[in-house]
Structure 1
Amino acid sequence: MSQQEYDLIVIGGGITGAGIALDAVTRGMKVAVVEMQDFAGGTSSRSTKLVHGGLRYLKQFEVKMVAEVGKEREIVYENGPHVTTPEWMLLPIHKGGTFGKVSTSFGLRVYDYLAGVKKKERRKMLSAQETLAHEPLVKKDGLRGAGYYVEYRTDDARLTLEVIKKAVEYGADIVNYVKAQRFIYDQKKITGIEVMDQLSGTPYILSGKRVVNAAGPWVDEVRSLDYSKNSKQLRLTKGVHLVVDQSVFPLKQAIYFDTQDGRMMFAIPRDGKAYVGTTDTLFDKDNDIANPKMTVEDRQYILDAIHYMFPTVHVTVDDVESSWAGVRPLIFEEGKDPSEISRKDEIWEQESGLITIAGGKLTGYRKMSEHVVDLVSKRLKSETKQTFKKSKTIHLPISGADFGGSQNYHSFVEKKALEAVKFGLTPDEGRHFASFYGSNADQIFKIAHAATGMKMDGSLTLAVYSEVVYAVQNEMIVKPVDFFIRRTGRLFFDINWVQLHKASILELMKNLLGWDEATYKTYQEELEKEIHDAIIAVR
């Protein structure tokens, strides 16, 4: 990469940086992305894991945002149905709650209209009896009914990764564990960046005509490396989610509900678990942004919210199997409460030529990226006379989505479940790989086929072995935490699986990646710390 000249260098390998890379490279730009941690290592693996239209922003009269983000949900879904799933959401209406029956009906109707919701997914209003038929655990006292509407559930880190892989398919150069540490200038204009390989400690210079800062919660830190300043700044807020087994919290239905203090929260069933969140508290920039922690107060707040809305559910501290905490980068607004700060994105351009994108929501990543690359394209045209095509990501399937759109997804998964048997896997394993990796499951099947008859060490099975090898060969995992958290999500949603297989997977990765003993021990300790942080709250 240090031997090239790029049209565009992007700092940040979260969903925004990934989206910008894909938009730019498909227009014909030569693109590089550097990420100082693992891809999606910050906010993009720690969200509520919903591609949602922001119904609550209607309350703040953010009509334009609801319209744009609402329409984007459908586009994101169609471009990657293996990482995004429509999910009917129940919005219970209680006497004295945030939403009344008339305002909910009106709000959801406006939402359907603004977001261009397709007919079969338009909102329904339910009676109290119908609400309890959908979810018997909801608080009966004061229940008036519910709104019923569609949101989209996703795996945020997988979405980021599939976008990155698509950009790489088109020729983008994208690398993790490489930190931007200094801008290079020519007559006060940025012409590149000095980066540091976080693994080897080697510095490199990358040359680029334009640099975009898409560093999420680290946006201000990157901007501080530049001589030119503007008055805008970030306000960071922290969100925590808890994961509980459905044997303890038998949630049937995704719910968007009132908490004890009038905020709103999600409870979502997923693969035998229920996860609940999020909190919304100010996050001090002096804390470690890379490792936000669940506190005892965060955990108690969510447990209290569960007991408030689901009074027959007796979830205790001991039932919390896992958790995650993430930091949201929002644009600072004087005197506003964390939950009132706008989720709008903003693009700032500085005298040096640095373009920064901040704020915004997971759902709007594609449109945000388009706006940024439109600006880059305009600047390159005036400065270098290069011309680039218009954005084409609106109908561009991301990596793994080569099965002809959402209407073919379920039949594709069932076909792959049967096919898996030919490669030594069970139908259930085939079904999991096809639904999780989409059309990339074929590569996992090939790895399994090549390893058939091989002696597996420790707890390894053919399926586990094949998934790890695939992640090493195709998804740039460097450390065990990359695999357990961001490539598979299992540290959040199946922590027992992690405990069962961690020793064997570490040994396999050690052999595949040629670690020495010291490296092995460092990565092992890092994984144990992540497991500890997911289970244990800090005081």
Structure 2
Amino acid sequence: MLAPARLGPDERAEAWRALQDDADIDVLVVGGGVTGAGVALDAATRGLKVVLVEQRDFGSGTSSRSSKLFHGGLRYLEQLNFSLVREALRERELMLTLLAPHLVKPVSFLYPLKHRFWERPYVTAGLTLYDTMGGKSSLPRHQQLSRRKALRMAPGLRKDALAGALRYYDAQADDARHTMMLARTAATYGASVLASAKVTGFVHAGERVVGATVEDVESGESATLSAKVVINCTGVWTDDIQKLAGGRGQFNVRASKGVHIVVPRDRLNSETGMILRTEKSVLFVIPWGTHWIIGTTDTEWDLDRAHPAASRADIDYILEHINTVLTTPLTHDDIEGVYAGLRPLLAGESEATSNLSREHAVARPQPGLISIAGGKYTTYRVMAADAVDAARADLSAHVPDSVTDHIPLVGAEGYQALTNQVELIARNRDLPPWRITHLLDRYGALMQEVLTLADDDPSLLEPLPGAEEYLKVEIVYAASHEGALHLDDLLSRRTRISIEAHDRGVDCADDAAALVAPVLGWDERRVEDEVAAYRARVAAERESQAEGDDLAANADRLAAPDIRARAVGRALD
């Protein structure tokens, strides 16, 4: 078993130094979302020398702002897209049983029926397909429920909101943590992964792309890398990278904004999640620890892509639809967190974004450059394998086939054994069992590595003030082992405090920054800057969420400074 790679500040500095001297890279991956991290792992486990660069933080774009589901997509069955659903269901099973059982968990959903006669057989037929078309599944099959049984399971639903129901199963994961663990797994197998590293230009030999110029966003330094092939995994920035490379891509990508809200668990009385049909798509009510995630919207977005803003209209849309079925309506005051993400959809001529394809496409717009776009989070591993397969044209003909269907993510090995030892570990560490379960579901077997950080400082096992669901040691570990470079990385992605706490992490910001200051080498001024930038971000998001339209919301959100840009005194694109 390989020792998990450590993504601390020292390792990042060494990786950057090595980058400046390395002239023998096989694959340069641009983009550190789930697809880019998946490509890095796929290529590294085929024996290729890989560098991944991400201009912000791992998963900071779409891959931390999804519905947090590993699912086949019921609505794609209705669109008769059987191949996409089958592929996604097979990937879901791989994640649940082999690749990431510590991160990907079963979750049940109630599907309320409104029509007494035709709807039950129609939905039953779809769910029967859903249960079987992916092959053998570890999840239970769907169940038929009368209205009485459904209301017993979800007393928070209005009696007139359903005539009966079905219950089915899918899977969920913390998308930001999964993406980061995927990048860390790639590093464990030899890939060099660098956050805050931005591609500013490409190197050409005639029409062929043979490398790129990369800027360290933290220091302003630049390095020119030679690579046999560059794989563009930048999602909604796909077209920008293609233009930067001097060519015109073979497909265009449009951004669709999806907004979710987060509310406390006690605001909705149910023991299961729910899926509701809307006039445009579906609305999920997803259990999330001591919270519910409710979403999503699906609207076109052509404004700032780094920080998409949710407007009051987006939030009102979600509240309006969920409140049609609740006995006690939700209000704006109930909302703890809001997040907006952009789906990179393959563009057609005039379709609404809700109708654009969720399938992915791979293109080789010019020699030495591969672009991959579209797809859905669940099928990232297949997308990655397809991208590296396409790169064979610029690599050796003897590149092996993908093996990532046999490569568990770091933390997976030994996870099941540790779940049987929760009570023992809790006694040894003088922590309640729920804390150990919480850690296991975030780190898997790496939990032992996390807890070891507290051996010399038992105070690290205390809760983080202002965000008591998390321990102080988790904040330190995020900086020392998980590649977090800024306070926003810690509170928005390594933890989900920014959407789970009613103050969105403002109250714990000072303590979190003080905890990581020695690890990241921050002086008092830097700590103040990080806290001020985080608080400004939260304030800007709150203001944007009070605006009535996208244009005003976008302007409010952009009022907050980008802390990564401030590090070198200029804004990112």
Bigger Cα displacement from structure 2, 361-370 vs 518-527: 518-527
Q: Name the residue aligned to 1:419.
A: 425
State the Cα distance separating 1:128 from its structure 2 match: 2.1
Q: Name the residue aligned to 2:561.
A: none
For 1:457 and 1:322, the matched residues in 2 are separated by: 21
Map 1:78-477 to 2 at 5 A. 78=97, 79-95=99-115, 100-118=119-137, 121-141=140-160, 143-259=162-278, 261=279, 263-284=281-302, 287-310=303-326, 312-382=327-397, 387-403=398-414, 408=416, 412-423=418-429, 425-452=431-458, 459=465, 464-477=471-484
The alignment partner of 1:355 has SS state of strand
State the Cα distance separating 1:96 from its structure 2 match: 9.3
For 1:457 and 1:69, the matched residues in 2 are separated by: 38
**In the alignment, is the contact (CA less than 8 A) between 2:497 and 2:504 conserved in 1?**
yes
Superimposed CA distance per residue, residues 503-535 of structure 1 (whole angstroms, 9 cap, x where no aligned partner):
111122223222244433332122113333554
**In the alignment, is the contact (CA less than 8 A) between 1:193 and 1:206 conserved in 2?**
yes
Give the letter for the 1:370 counterpart: A
Unaligned runs of 5+ in 2: 1-18, 548-573
Superimposed CA distance per residue, residues 153-200 of structure 1 (whole angstroms, 9 cap, x where no aligned partner):
110011111111111111100000110110101122111110111111
Query: Is it true that 1:66 corresponds to 2:66 in the alignment?
Result: no
Q: Name the residue aligned to 1:519.
A: 526
For 2:51 and 2:311, the matched residues in 1 are separated by: 37
Superimposed CA distance per residue, residues 288-347 of structure 1 (whole angstroms, 9 cap, x where no aligned partner):
11111110100111110111122x122111111111000111000122122111101000
Q: In the superposition, relative to structure 1, how do residues 462 and 354 fare at CA in structure 2: closer, same or farther (>3 Å)?
A: closer
State the Cα distance separating 1:131 from its structure 2 match: 1.9
**In the alignment, is the contact (CA less than 8 A) between 1:258 and 1:309 conserved in 2?**
no
Q: In the superposition, relative to structure 1, how do residues 255 and 534 fare at CA in structure 2: closer, same or farther (>3 Å)?
A: farther
In the TM superposition, structure 1's runs of 4+ consecutive aligned residues that sit over 4 Å from their partners are: 423-426, 453-463, 533-536
For 2:359 and 2:405, the matched residues in 1 are separated by: 20
Q: In the superposition, relative to structure 1, how do residues 430 and 180 fare at CA in structure 2: closer, same or farther (>3 Å)?
A: same
Give the letter for the 2:456 counterpart: A
Q: In the superposition, relative to structure 1, how do residues 102 and 363 fare at CA in structure 2: closer, same or farther (>3 Å)?
A: same
The alignment partner of 2:151 has SS state of helix
**In the alignment, is the contact (CA less than 8 A) between 2:261 and 2:315 conserved in 1?**
yes
Give the letter for the 1:212 counterpart: I
Match of 2:62 among 33, 43, 58: 43
The alignment partner of 1:449 has SS state of coil
For 2:314 and 2:360, the matched residues in 1 are separated by: 27
Q: Name the residue aligned to 2:559.
A: none
For 1:447 and 1:521, the matched residues in 2 are separated by: 25
Bigger Cα displacement from structure 2, 389-398 vs 372-381: 372-381
For 2:171 and 2:464, the matched residues in 1 are separated by: 38
Q: Name the residue aligned to 2:508.
A: 501
For 2:461 and 2:65, the matched residues in 1 are separated by: 37
For 2:114 and 2:216, the matched residues in 1 are separated by: 54
**In the alignment, is the contact (CA less than 8 A) between 1:128 and 1:145 conserved in 2?**
yes
The alignment partner of 2:244 has SS state of coil
**In the alignment, is the contact (CA less than 8 A) between 2:480 and 2:519 conserved in 1?**
no
State the Cα distance separating 1:493 from its structure 2 match: 2.0
Normalised by the size of structure 1, how large is the TM-score?
Answer: 0.92
For 1:256 and 1:454, the matched residues in 2 are separated by: 40
For 1:147 and 1:379, the matched residues in 2 are separated by: 50
For 2:298 and 2:329, the matched residues in 1 are separated by: 24
Taking only the aligned residue pairs, the percentage that are identical comes to 33
Match of 1:489 among 476, 493, 496: 496
State the Cα distance separating 1:137 from its structure 2 match: 2.3
Unaligned runs of 5+ in 1: none
For 1:498 and 1:228, the matched residues in 2 are separated by: 43
For 2:182 and 2:228, the matched residues in 1 are separated by: 23
Match of 1:76 among 95, 99, 118: 95
Give the letter for the 1:84 counterpart: V
Superimposed CA distance per residue, residues 450-470 of structure 1 (whole angstroms, 9 cap, x where no aligned partner):
213789999499973321221
For 1:419 and 1:304, the matched residues in 2 are separated by: 45
State the Cα distance separating 1:269 from its structure 2 match: 1.9
State the Cα distance separating 1:92 from its structure 2 match: 1.0
RMSD, aligned α-carbons: 2.4
Bigger Cα displacement from structure 2, 417-426 vs 19-28: 417-426
State the Cα distance separating 1:426 from its structure 2 match: 4.4
Q: In the superposition, relative to structure 1, how do residues 107 and 122 fare at CA in structure 2: closer, same or farther (>3 Å)?
A: same
**In the alignment, is the contact (CA less than 8 A) between 1:33 and 1:174 conserved in 2?**
yes
Superimposed CA distance per residue, residues 460-514 of structure 1 (whole angstroms, 9 cap, x where no aligned partner):
9997332122111110110011011111112112345834422111122223222
